[in-house]
Amino acid sequence: MKTRLCGLLIPICLCAVLPAARGDEGKGEPAPKPEPAADPFTDAGTGIAFPETLGSLPRQKAHRYKDPKLGMAVAYHDKSILRANVYVYDFGEEDIADGVASEAVKEQFALARKDIENAAARDYYKDLEKLAEATAEVQTPGGPRSFLSASFRYAQAPGPRVRFLGTNVSHLLLTGYRGKFVKVRFTYPEEKKAEGEKALAAFLEDLGKLMPVEKEKAEGKQ
């Protein structure tokens, strides 16, 4: 499969203890079995189950935000400076259409792009420059799926978790899928551009396998 960038995402069960039914006093009732813990790497709404690796990057951790509208994020990175995060969320929106054509997806992409610009305004990113903005097509089992896409160049300000102070290239991609937004940030050092672009293509190829285009929608803009 090929990925093409055009123009270039333990609950605790509290069980009440009920009294025995009349006539059954003393017999005792078996305690209900607790619900199994939710898989921390699966989004129930979309059915996306994040695997141990995407492309060449191993999975690191998942985070579920306290605010349900912010959904979950799953981090992938290796021992080098290549890193990715996938976010799956609805931002309080209902009936988010698949693909990139809806106003909800376009507005969310604009907000995500603005978040990057705001990070630069707060000096978290230095010398921010937008490199390109286009549509990315990611191959899936049911056909190509479109993502709104933009890429940026910047240097990250020093901080306790910052591993690289040189110039980065960072890709932002976003689409609608099964009633939610799926957003990707993929970042690598500019000096490793060839390696980074290859890793991005492999990452998106594997992500596409998790987000099939339904047959009835395959002819539409996904």
pLDDT for res 26: 42
37-217 maps to CATH 1.25.40: no
pLDDT in tens, 29-68: 555 554 444 688 999 999 999 999 999 999 999 999 999 9
**CA of 71: how far to CAs of 34, 52, 148, 191, 199, in Å?**
24, 20, 20, 33, 26
pLDDT in tens, 61-80: 999 999 999 999 999 998 87
CA distance 126 to 129: 9
Taking residues 176-203, report their average pLDDT.
96
Q: Cβ–Cβ contacts within 10 Å for residue 153, how many?
A: 15
Taking residues 100-116, report their average pLDDT.
97
